[in-house]
Amino acid sequence: MDLGDILSKEQIVTDLQATTRWEVIDELIANLVATGKIKLEHRDAIAAVVKKRETSMSTGIGFGIGIPHACTDLIYEVVGAFGRSRKGIQFEALDNQPVSLVMLFLVPQGQFQKHLHTLAKIAKLLHKPEFRTALEQSPDAEGMLRIIREQGKN
């Protein structure tokens, strides 16, 4: 499964308003509700499981990247939302730098291998400097999705 398979242009937030990792998790989960990927009544429970995972160790992996993620039995397929921040988000990242690109994803409970595989693919892709630069400079969600689909084929 490629990153481009998880996202649609509606699941890309080109100008995140969040300034903290907790706010960005809420903002991207709100996007998943708005796009029909998760049910409104599951929003708080899903936010809680993502934040619990994030509390154990920041998913700010450096290079301006955050990958908050969790497993939950409230979904039946891998879902995600991608966000870009122009001003940077305090994420308690490993390199102590603000995060500008955030990929939140959820994996159905019990699919541990899929969870690890998805996380590894996203991290590998986002570690490419030319990929990050292209996403940061893209004018809109459509352009960002095109970049993700073109460069995300591994």
Per-residue pLDDT 10s for the chain (154 aa) are: 678 889 999 999 999 999 999 999 999 999 999 999 999 999 999 999 999 999 998 899 999 999 999 999 999 999 999 999 999 999 999 999 999 999 999 999 988 787 788 888 888 888 899 999 999 999 999 999 999 999 876 5
Cβ atoms of 95 and 62 closer than 8 Å: yes
Reading phi first (left if > 0) and then psi (alpha if -120 to 50, else beta), residue 21 is in alpha
Give the H/E segment covering residue 88: strand 79-89
CA 74, 58, 115, 8 torsion-angle sign: positive
- pTM for the predicted model, two decimal places: 0.93
- Which listed CATH number (2.60.40.10, 3.30.1380.10, 3.40.50.720, 3.40.930.10) goes with 3-151? 3.40.930.10
Cβ atoms of 53 and 92 closer than 8 Å: no
What are the residue boundaries of the structural domains of the chain, listed by start?
3-151
